[in-house]
C-alpha cells in the first residue's frame, strides 16, 4: 500500500497529504478488483473538505478556471463548493486490459497540481466516490462515465451560476443497475440534461438536487442528516428497477448516502481503522476490511407494506470515535422505518485477496482453465458414496455401487419427500450464458438415468433460459415445480428475478452456485455449492465454473433419480455408472489440458484466415457446442454459429466456415454418420476441426483431429468443452498477435515524435549548418527516419496480408486505408501522389497523423485482451424487472383481477398505485364493474356513458345511479379522464377506489372496489402510500414548505388516512402550520 501511495504523488508525499492519498489508493485498489464486473469506463471523485480556493484569484495557483465550470463533469473537472473542492477523474474505452482504466486514473491524479495543493490544506479530509461501469443505458463515453453530477444546462450563461445550478451544494452519484423509468422522470420532472449525457444515472444527482432544494426551501447553507436522508429517500423512491446507488453531497461532506433496491445489485459496508469502505462486492473491500454489513434490497421491513418498505437506505458518516464501528451505522427501509445494525448483521468475509491473484499466469482465463480439474474434484469431494446392495446389479463401471450423498442443506427433506410422492412433477433448470449451458446438462443426465426404464414413474425436466421461463413459463400455481437455478456469482439479475417470481407461485428452489452468502443462496430452499463455495473467477469469460456446475447437475440428477425410483435396479446401476465416470473426469481433464501446445498450433494455423466460424455437436455434445460458442464469441469478438452436426449442411456451408466439431462419446452408426458429415463439410471447402474420443478412428476427412480420453458417453462432452476452452483462449491470442507489427509501428512513430522538435526536426539535425530551414524539409527528415524504423514491422504486416492471415479479422476498409497510408509512410510512394490518392495535401505531418489514426483503428479491431471483453461484464447485474409480476401479489391488484378486470387493461401505473395503496386499505368488501362508451374528454357530456356490467360483495345491495342516469360524471369521470386510480367517497358515503381499464390510451371501463380504509398508519408507511398515490406526498410537502422551511413526516401518523388521500392539500397543510416546530424539536424530545 505504501508504494502505491507514493506512486500517486510521484515521490514521498508530505505528511499532510498521506491520509487523503491513502483514501484514493483504497478506492483505486477496489476498482482494480471490481472492474471484472465491467470496465468500459471508470471514474473517481475526490472531495477534499476544508480546501478553499483563494477568493481573489479563483484558484490556489491560478489557471484552473476552466476545470471549475466544465458542464459535463468530464475528466479533470473540479468544483469549488465553498467548503471544499471536488475533483473528478475519468476514462472510457470499449477495449482494454484489466488495470488499464485505473492506470489512466492514477496518471490523471499524479499530474493534478491543484489536488496536491488541496490535500495539503490545513485540516483537509477526503471522501472518495468511485465506479467502474458496464454500459447498459447510454453509450460508452467520458460524459456517461460515473460519477455524474447535478449540473443543469438551464443554469448555463447565468452570471455567477455554479455548474450544479447554484440552488444547493455540489452533488455526485454513481449507479449499478438500471433506472427503468428514467425517461419518464426526465419528462415529468422537466429535468434539464446535457445531450452528451445519455446514461440513466444522470437522473440520480439531478433529482436529489431537486429534493434537497425543496426540503431546504432554497437555503444553500442548510445541511443536516435528517434533511439529506429525507431528500435522498424522496429521490430514490421514485426510481423503478433494480438499483444500487451511492451519492455524495458537499453540504454534508463527511457522509455518503447509499440506497439498494431490487435483486440484481449489492452493497457492502466495511470498517477499517478510522474509516468506512463501501463496495458492490466483498472482494472490493477485503484488502482493508475483514468484516462488513450487507444491505438488503429485497426483504420488506413491513410485511403489510411490501412495496413501500422494500429496499434499504444508509447514511455512512465519519466515525464518531477513533475506530469505525459497524454497529454505529444507521440504516432504514425505503419507507423510513429504522433498521438498526445488529451484531448478527456483521459478516466475516470468506474471500481474500489471495483468491483473486493471477499469480504466474499471463491471464486469469488461462489460470482458471487450468484450475478446472481442481474445482471439479472439490465439487465431487464427499458427495459420492459407495454401498453394497442385495442382489446383483450389472454396471458398466467396475467397482461397488455408487450413490450421490447430498445433505438436507443441498436437497431439503421436504423437497425429497415431494419428489418421492409425486407432488413435484416438473423440474426446470434455469440460468443465463454459461450457467444456462451447464443447466442444460440436467435434462441430459435425467435422460441418461431414467430412460432405460421408461415404463416407471419419471419426471418432466426442461432447461429454458431464466428469462424465457419468467417471460413465458410461469403459471399461477407452480407448487408442482422444482426450479434448479444455476449461477456462478449468485447475483445475476435475470436468474434471481426469475427465482423470486417462481417462489412466489409456490415453486421449490435449489441453487447451484459458487458463492456463499450471495443473493441467490438467500432465495433458495437448498444450495448445492460448486467447488468449495468460494472458488472465485476473475476473467469475464467463465470456464472452470462450467465443469463444477455440470458435475453438480449430475449429482443432483443422481440423488433425485434414486428418490423417485428407489427400487429400480436399472436406474441404480445407471447412477453408479455415471458417478463412477464423474470420479474419473478430473484426471481426464488434466490429460486434455496437457495438449495445450497442440491446440495452440491448430489455432495459429487456421484462425486468422477465416471470417466465418461455427461450432457443432449432437446429443450431449450440444451442451459442449453451446458453451464453446459462448467462449469463442466472448474472447474472440466473433459472431459464431452453433448448430447440430447433421443440420449444418442444411444451413450455411455457403460461407465456407471454420467449424469446431464436438464428437466425443459417439459410437456405432452415430459416429459413422458424424464422420460422414465432416467429409461433407470438407467437400464444400469448410475447415472442420474435430474433437473426438480416443480410438474413434473415423474422422480422416477432418482438417485437424484432436483426440481426448474416452471416459463415459454421458460425460465425454466435458472433455470436448475443455479442448474448446483452450482453443478459444489460443484463438484470441492468435488474433491479438496479428496486431503486434502494427503496435511496433505505432511505438516507433510515437517515440520518434516524442523527441522531434515542434518544426519536425530531429536532435541530430538541430544545429547542423546544412540543416534545411524549410519546415517541410525538417519534416521530410523525420519521415525518412521513420520509414527506416517502420521497414521491418511493415514487411511482416504485408507478408501477413498476402498470406491471408488478416482476412478473418481486419475490416476491408481498415486494411485498405492502412495499406495506402503505409506506402507513403515507408517512402514507397512519392508524397506528391498523396492528395490524389487520399484526398489531402501530402505534407509529412499529415501523413504521420493519418498513419497513426489508421494504426489505432486497426489495432483496436485486432486487440483481444482475453480477461476483459468489449461490451461485457463478469457479473451482469442489470436485466429483467418483470415489475408487473411482483405487483400482481398486491391485495388490491388481486381484488381487481378477481372482480373481472382484464389484466391487459390495467396499466403498469395503475398496478403500481394499487400496490402502494395496499397498507391504507383494511378490507375490500365489494366491487362493481362498468363499461364506458364514447371518447372520454376533459368535460363530461351526455355522449359519454357508463354502464354497470357486474358486481359482487356489498355492492350487490347498493343501487347504482348509472342504471337510471348513465352519463359519466363526478369522480368516475375524473378517474376515467385522467386514467389514474382514484380514492373517493360516494354520494352514499361509501369509500371506494376507481380503477380505470384502458386500451390504446383510451379508457374503456372502470372497476370500482368498495374499501374500508385503516384509520391511521405509522408515519413511514403513510409517507410511502402518499408517494405512490398521484404524487400526493410531494404536493403536500410543497404546500407546507410554501410557508415553512421544513416538512415534518412524523405528523403523517397523526391524521386520518382517508383524509390524507382525499382532502385538498392546502387544507391538510393547515395541520402542519399549526404545529410549526422543526423536525427533532418536538416536545418531549
User: What is the Cα–Cα distance from 1003 to 1000, expressed in whole angstroms?
Assistant: 8
* Angle formed at CA 352 by CA 351 and CA 355, multiple of 5 degrees: 85
- 1 pLDDT above the threshold of 70: no
Residue 159 is predicted with a pLDDT of 34
**pLDDT tens for residues 137-196?**
777 789 999 999 998 766 544 333 445 444 458 999 999 888 888 888 888 778 888 888
pLDDT value of position 883: 52
Q: How far is CA 907 from the centre of its chain?
A: 27
Of 646, 710, 633, residue with least CA distance to 678? 646
pLDDT at residue 765 tops 50? no
Residue 681 has pLDDT above 50, yes or no: yes
The x, y and z cell numbers of residue 587, run together, are 484426471
Nearest alpha-carbon partner for 661 in 695, 600, 697, 703:
703
CB-CB contact of 1036 with 1068 (8 Å): yes
- Please determine, for residue 875, whether its predicted confidence score (pLDDT) is greater than 60: no
Give the number of other Cβ atoms within 10 Å of residue 1006's Cβ: 23
Let me know: does 137 contact 203? Beta carbons within 8 Å: no
CATH number 3.30.420.40 is the correct assignment for the domain at 595-736: no
In the chain, the percentage of residues whose pLDDT exceeds 70 is: 87
pLDDT at 462: 95
Sign of CA dihedral 744, 745, 746, 750: positive
- Residue identified by cell 398505485 is 913
364-584: CATH homologous superfamily? Answer: Glucose-6-phosphate isomerase like protein; domain 1 (3.40.50.10490)
- Residue 36 CA from chain centroid, whole number: 11
User: What is the pLDDT at residue 353?
Assistant: 67
Mean pLDDT of the chain: 85
Higher pLDDT, 166 or 726: 726
Query: In this predicted structure, what is the pLDDT of residue 877?
Result: 44
pLDDT in the model for residue 322: 67
For CA atoms 380, 409, 541, 534, the dihedral sign is negative
Count CB neighbours of 824 within 10 A. 24
**In contact, 21 and 8? CB cutoff 8 Å:** yes
So what's the pLDDT on residue 749? 86
pLDDT band at 618 (very low <50, low <70, confident <90, very high): very high
Q: E-strand spans in 530-627? A: 613-617
**Selection from 239, 255, 407 nearest residue 318 by Cα:** 255
Count of H-run helices and E-run strands, the chain: 35, 31
Give the contacts of 33 (CB within 8 A, at least 6 positions apart): 281, 283, 284, 287, 353, 356
Residue found by looking up cell 482465463 in the block? 365
Average pLDDT over residues 547-551: 96
- Residue 169 half-sphere exposure, CB side, CA atoms within 13 Å? 26
- 223 pLDDT band, cuts 50/70/90, is low
882, pLDDT greater than 60 = no
Place 1082 in a pLDDT band, splitting at 50, 70 and 90. Answer: very low
Region 1032-1057: what's the mean pLDDT?
A: 87
| Of residues 1082 and 233, more confidently modeled | 233
With cut-offs at 50, 70 and 90, classify the pLDDT of residue 82: confident
Does residue 524 contact residue 344 with C-beta atoms inside 8 Å?
no
pLDDT digit string, tens, across residues 883-922? 555 566 788 999 999 999 998 888 888 888 998 899 999 9
For residues 1052 and 985, the answer to whether their CB atoms sit within 8 Å is no
218 pLDDT exceeds 70?
A: no
Higher pLDDT, 644 or 870: 644
What is the per-residue pLDDT across 948-964, written as a single tens digit (0 to 9) for each?
Answer: 999 999 888 787 777 77
Angle (nearest 5°) at CA 1065 between 1061 and 1070: 115
Q: What is the pLDDT of residue 654?
A: 86
What's the average model confidence in pLDDT over 251-255? 89
Q: What is the dihedral of CA 728, 730, 733, 738, to 10 degrees?
A: -100
pTM: 0.68
Grid coordinates representing 418 are: 415431494
- 392 pLDDT band, cuts 50/70/90, is very low
448 burial type by CB count under 10 A (0-12 exposed, 13-18 middle, 19+ buried): buried
Beta-carbon-side half-sphere exposure of residue 290 (alpha carbons within 13 Å): 1
Question: Is pLDDT of 78 > 60?
Answer: yes
Which residues of the chain does CATH 3.40.50.10490 include? Answer: 364-584, 595-736
Over the stretch 275-331, which tens digit does the pLDDT of each residue have?
Answer: 889 998 887 888 888 889 999 888 888 877 777 788 999 999 877 766 778 888 889
* Window from 446-450, 534-538, 583-587, 758-762 with minimum mean pLDDT: 758-762
Instruction: Give CATH for domain 2-265.
Output: 3.60.20.10
pLDDT at 231 over 50: yes
Grid cell of 715 as nine digits: 460425460
Answer whether residue 671 shows pLDDT above 90. yes
Over the stretch 481-537, which tens digit does the pLDDT of each residue have? 999 999 987 878 788 889 988 988 899 999 999 877 677 887 899 999 998 766 777
Give percent of the chain with pLDDT exceeding 90. Answer: 43
Burial class (CB in 10 A: 0-12, 13-18, 19+), 941: middle
**What order of strands is seen across the sheet that includes strand 921-933?**
945-953, 921-933, 1002-1013, 991-999, 982-985
**pLDDT value at 768 more than 60:** no
Closest CA to 395 of 348, 331, 449: 449
902-934: burial string, b at 16+ Cβ within 10 Å, e else: eeebbbeebbbbbbbbbbbbeebebbbbbbbee
pLDDT, residue 950, reads 92
Cα–Cα distances in angstroms (integers) from residue 1010 to residues 356, 899, 924, in the given order: 59, 11, 6
**225 pLDDT above the threshold of 50:** yes
pLDDT at 247: 95
- The answer, yes or no, to whether residue 777 has pLDDT greater than 50, is no
Please give the distance of CA 184 from its chain centroid, rounded to a whole number: 22
Element (H, E) at 528: strand 526-529
State the span(s) of the chain assigned CATH 3.60.20.10: 2-265
Question: Beta strand 268-272 with 255-261: parallel, antiparallel or unpaired?
Answer: unpaired
Question: CB-side exposure of 433: number of CA atoms within 13 Å?
Answer: 24
Amino acid at each position: 500500500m505504501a508504494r502505491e501511495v507514493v506512486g500517486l504523488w510521484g515521490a514521498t508525499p508530505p505528511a499532510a497529504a498521506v491520509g487523503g492519498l491513502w483514501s484514493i489508493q483504497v478506492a483505486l485498489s477496489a476498482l482494480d478488483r471490481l472492474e471484472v464486473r465491467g470496465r468500459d469506463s471508470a471514474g473517481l471523485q475526490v472531495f477534499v473538505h476544508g480546501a478553499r480556493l483563494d477568493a481573489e484569484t479563483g484558484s490556489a495557483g491560478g489557471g484552473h478556471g476552466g476545470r471549475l465550470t466544465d458542464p459535463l463533469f468530464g475528466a479533470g473537472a473540479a468544483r469549488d463548493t465553498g467548503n471544499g473542492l471536488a475533483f473528478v477523474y475519468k476514462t472510457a474505452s470499449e477495449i482494454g486490459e484489466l488495470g488499464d482504466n485505473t492506470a489512466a486514473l492514477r496518471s490523471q491524479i499524479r499530474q493534478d497540481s491543484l489536488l496536491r495543493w488541496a490535500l495539503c490544506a490545513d485540516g483537509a479530509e477526503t471522501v472518495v466516490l468511485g465506479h467502474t461501469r458496464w454500459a447498459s443505458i447510454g453509450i460508452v463515453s467520458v460524459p456517461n462515465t460515473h460519477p455524474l453530477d447535478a449540473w443543469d444546462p438551464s443554469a448555463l450563461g447565468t452570471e455567477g451560476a455554479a455548474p450544479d445550478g447554484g440552488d444547493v451544494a455540489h452533488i455526485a452519484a454513481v449507479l449499478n443497475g438500471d433506472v427503468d423509468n428514467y425517461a419518464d422522470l426526465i419528462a415529468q420532472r422537466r429535468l434539464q440534461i446535457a445531450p452528451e449525457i445519455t446514461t440513466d444515472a444522470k437522473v440520480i444527482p439531478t433529482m436529489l438536487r431537486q429534493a434537497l432544494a425543496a426540503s431546504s426551501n432554497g437555503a444553500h447553507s442548510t445541511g443536516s442528516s435528517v434533511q439529506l436522508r429525507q431528500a435522498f429517500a424522496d429521490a430514490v423512491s421514485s426510481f423503478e428497477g433494480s438499483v444500487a446507488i451511492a451519492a455524495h453531497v458537499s453540504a454534508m461532506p463527511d457522509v455518503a448516502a447509499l440506497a439498494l433496491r431490487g435483486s440484481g445489485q449489492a452493497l457492502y459496508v466495511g470498517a477499517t481503522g478510522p474509516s468506512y469502505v463501501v463496495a458492490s462486492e466483498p472482494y472490493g473491500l477485503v484488502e482493508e476490511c475483514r468484516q462488513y454489513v450487507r444491505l438488503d434490497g429485497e426483504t420488506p421491513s413491513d410485511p403489510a407494506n411490501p412495496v413501500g418498505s422494500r429496499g434499504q437506505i444508509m447514511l455512512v458518516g465519519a466515525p464518531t470515535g477513533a475506530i469505525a464501528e459497524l454497529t454505529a451505522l444507521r440504516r432504514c427501509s425505503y419507507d423510513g422505518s429504522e433498521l438498526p445494525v445488529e451484531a448478527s448483521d456483521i459478516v466475516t468475509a470468506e474471500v481474500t485477496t489471495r483468491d483473486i491473484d493471477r499469480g504466474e499466469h499471463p491471464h486469469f482465463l488461462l489460470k482458471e482453465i487450468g484450475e478446472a480439474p481442481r474445482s471439479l474434484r472439490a465439487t465431487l469431494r464427499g458427495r459420492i458414496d459407495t454401498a453394497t446392495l442385495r442382489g446383483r446389479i450389472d454396471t458398466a463401471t467396475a467397482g461397488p455401487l455408487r450413490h450421490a450423498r447430498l445433505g438436507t442443506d443441498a436437497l431439503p427433506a421436504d423437497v425429497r419427500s415431494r419428489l418421492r410422492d409425486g407432488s413435484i412433477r416438473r423440474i426446470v433448470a434455469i440460468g443465463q450464458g454459461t450457467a444456462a449451458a451447464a443447466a442444460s446438462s440436467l435434462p441430459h443426465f435425467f435422460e441418461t438415468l431414467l430412460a432405460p426404464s421408461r415404463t416407471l414413474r419419471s419426471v418432466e425436466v426442461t432447461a429454458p433460459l431464466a428469462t424465457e421461463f419468467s417471460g413465458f413459463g410461469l403459471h399461477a400455481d407452480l407448487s408442482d415445480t422444482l426450479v434448479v437455478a444455476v449461477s456462478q456469482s449468485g447475483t445475476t439479475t435475470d436468474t434471481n428475478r426469475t427465482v423470486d417470481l417462481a417462489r412466489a407461485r409456490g415453486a421449490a428452489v435449489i441453487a447451484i452456485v459458487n458463492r456463499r452468502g450471495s443473493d441467490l443462496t438467500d432465495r433458495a430452499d437448498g444450495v448445492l455449492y460448486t467447488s468449495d463455495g468460494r472458488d472465485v473467477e476473475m476473467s469475464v469469460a467463465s470456464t472452470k465454473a462450467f465443469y463444477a456446475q455440470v458435475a453438480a447437475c449430475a449429482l443432483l440428477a443422481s440423488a433425485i433419480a434414486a428418490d423417485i425410483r428407489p427400487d429400480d435396479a436399472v436406474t441404480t446401476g445407471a447412477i453408479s455408472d455415471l458417478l463412477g465416470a464423474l470420479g474419473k473426469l478430473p484426471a481426464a481433464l488434466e490429460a486434455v489440458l496437457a495438449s495445450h501446445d497442440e491446440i495452440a498450433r491448430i489455432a495459429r494455423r487456421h484462425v486468422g484466415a477465416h471470417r466465418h466460424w461455427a461450432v457443432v455437436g449432437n446429443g450431449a455434445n450440444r451442451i459442449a457446442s453451446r458453451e464453446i460458442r459462448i467462449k469463442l464469441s466472448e474472447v474472440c469478438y466473433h459472431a459464431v454459429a452453433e448448430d447440430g452436426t447433421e443440420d449444418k449442411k442444411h444451413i450455411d456451408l455457403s460461407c465456407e466456415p471454420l467449424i469446431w466439431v464436438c464428437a466425443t462419446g459417439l459410437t456405432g452408426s452415430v459416429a459413422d454418420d458424424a464422420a460422414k458429415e465432416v467429409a461433407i463439410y470438407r467437400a464444400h471447402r469448410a475447415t472442420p476441426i474435430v474433437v473426438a474420443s480416443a480410438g474413434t478412428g473415423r474422422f480422416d476427412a477432418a482438417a485437424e483431429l484432436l483426440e481426448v480420453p474416452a471416459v463415459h458417453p454421458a460425460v465425454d462432452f466435458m472433455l470436448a468443452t475443455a479442448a474448446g476452452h483452450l482453443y478459444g483462449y489460443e484463438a484470441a491470442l492468435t488474433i491479438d498477435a496479428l496486431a503486434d507489427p502494427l503496435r511496433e509501428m505505432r511505438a516507433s512513430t510515437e517515440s520518434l515524435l516524442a523527441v522531434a522538435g515542434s518544426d519536425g526536426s530531429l536532435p541530430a539535425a538541430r544545429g547542423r549548418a546544412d540543416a534545411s530551414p524549410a519546415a517541410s524539409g525538417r519534416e521530410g527528415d523525420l519521415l525518412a527516419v521513420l520509414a527506416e524504423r517502420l521497414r521491418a514491422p511493415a514487411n511482416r504486416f504485408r507478408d501477413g496480408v498476402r498470406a491471408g492471415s488478416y482476412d478473418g479479422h481486419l475490416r476491408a476498409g481498415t486494411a485498405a486505408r492502412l495499406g495506402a497510408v503505409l506506402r507513403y509512410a515507408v517512402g514507397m510512394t512519392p508524397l506528391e501522389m498523396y492528395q490524389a490518392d487520399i484526398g489531402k495535401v501530402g505534407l509529412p505531418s499529415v501523413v504521420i497523423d493519418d498513419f497513426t489514426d489508421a494504426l489505432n483503428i486497426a489495432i483496436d479491431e485486432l486487440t483481444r485482451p482475453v480477461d476483459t471483453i468489449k461490451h461485457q461484464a463478469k457479473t451482469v447485474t442489470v436485466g429483467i424487472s418483470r415489475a408487473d409480476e411482483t405487483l400482481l401479489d398486491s391485495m388490491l391488484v388481486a381484488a381487481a383481477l378477481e372482480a373481472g378486470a382484464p389484466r391487459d387493461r390495467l396499466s403498469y401505473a395503475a398496478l403500481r398505485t394499487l400496490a402502494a395503496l395496499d397498507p391504507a386499505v383494511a378490507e375490500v368488501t365489494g366491487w362493481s364493474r362498468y363499461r364506458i362508451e364514447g371518447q372520454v374528454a376533459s368535460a363530461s357530456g351526455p355522449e359519454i356513458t357508463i354502464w354497470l356490467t357486474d358486481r359482487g360483495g356489498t355492492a350487490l345491495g347498493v343501487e347504482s345511479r348509472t342504471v337510471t342516469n348513465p352519463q359519466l360524471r363526478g369522480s368516475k369521470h375524473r378517474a376515467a379522464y385522467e386514467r389514474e386510480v382514484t380514492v373517493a367517497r360516494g354520494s352514499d358515503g361509501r369509500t371506494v377506489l376507481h380503477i380505470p381499464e384502458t386500451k390504446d390510451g383510451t379508457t374503456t371501463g372502470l372497476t370500482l372496489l368498495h374499501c374500508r380504509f385503516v384509520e391511521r398508519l405509522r408515519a413511514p408507511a403513510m409517507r410511502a402510500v402518499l408517494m405512490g398515490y398521484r404524487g400526493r406526498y410531494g404536493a403536500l410537502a410543497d404546500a407546507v414548505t410554501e410557508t415553512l422551511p421544513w416538512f415534518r413526516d412524523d405528523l403523517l401518523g397523526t391524521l386520518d388516512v382517508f383524509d390524507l388521500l382525499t382532502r385538498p392539500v392546502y387544507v391538510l397543510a393547515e395541520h402542519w402550520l399549526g404545529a410549526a416546530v422543526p423536525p427533532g424539536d418536538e416536545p418531549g424530545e
